[in-house]
Structure 1
Amino acid sequence: MPKKVDHEARRQEIAEALWRIASTRGLDGVSLRDVAAEADISLGRLQHYFRTKDEMLLFALRHINALADRRIRERIGALTSEPGQEPPPRAVLRECLRGMLPLDERSRVGTLVGAAYFARAIHDKRLREEAREGIPKLAEFFTGLLRSAQERGELAAGRAVDPHTEAMLLISLVDGLTAYTLLGVQTGEEALARLDAHLDRVFGDG
């Protein structure tokens, strides 16, 4: 019998080849042929899975995001030892924001792939709609956490916070911290310390 091919696993292998290229020389000018060589498959075989570079980037970005989401969920799940107990909103928010920063090699590569995709999306309406899709959902989730903290009296005394505005500010802050970390303006540890300093202003010192 012919060997059954796990097409999803093969797509993930191609995505990981793309990540390896991103980690060593970026993605500017990288072609499908380059990725095929890195994945040790023929160009024709690669094009069986991805017809264009944009399709490949989109899959790689979604796969990276899924892995990051899984890691964040696992860290949030580890915040409490009691089954069914909800961790504090600040702790959940911090883990989510921390997971968006390029603090290790894998998250750094994932961020580079995302940046390459977003740069192309600016000039492509279809790609731009895909890139924008997750932001409102993330902002809605953060807004819910901040509103819950507000109702529990956990925000800094005397600080008027609009949950949705603060949610968007936090997303924008992490985007800026990410860019400066990738550029080497600051280390990952410094980026995390600056994130914590902002959360201290929103929630108080603890």
Structure 2
Amino acid sequence: MSSQSLKGKRIAFLATDGFEQVELTMPWNAIKDAGADVVLVSPKEGDIQGMNHDEKADTFNVDQLVGSASAENFDGLVLPGGVANPDALRTCEDSVTFVRDFFKQHKPVAAVCHGPWTLIEADVVRGRKVTSWPSLKTDLRNAGAEWVDEECVCDEGLVTSRNPGDLPAFCKKAIEEFAEGKHAAQTA
């Protein structure tokens, strides 16, 4: 992949307090290094709190509120994990709608660790092959997904990984999917 494979692309990162910091920063840096414009979208204004497992890490300034963000203005979406982050996002209707709209518009989405919780709420995993943190396996299966225990899974533009150890493969595949663009078979 060329170092500018995402030049001209705009990628949203949807997160709120309690995200696993490395699951935001590693993809953010890789996608930015590939030439994309990266935007931190959140239901919360100001700064959001990153975590290193159960310890507070750094705070990050939100670029745009999810209520004023539109999937139409982005070429892809990244959903970092952490336990509190996707649990809060899935109770925020603006966040759920934002996520669902990427699928309606057939745009690539990448979710790591606990990130797929928000995908379940958006009802976009039915019939899809995915992976996640192991504790989400039953939730994902109950939502109609085929859950597998693999480092990185890609199903028609939906990229999922299990944990921070999978981030190198996750970042590589996410960049590839974002560069490719629309996926006709991806549905909401």
TM-score, reference length from structure 2: 0.28
Q: Which has the larger radius of gyration?
A: 1
Q: Which has the higher helix share?
A: 1
Q: Which has the higher strand share?
A: 2
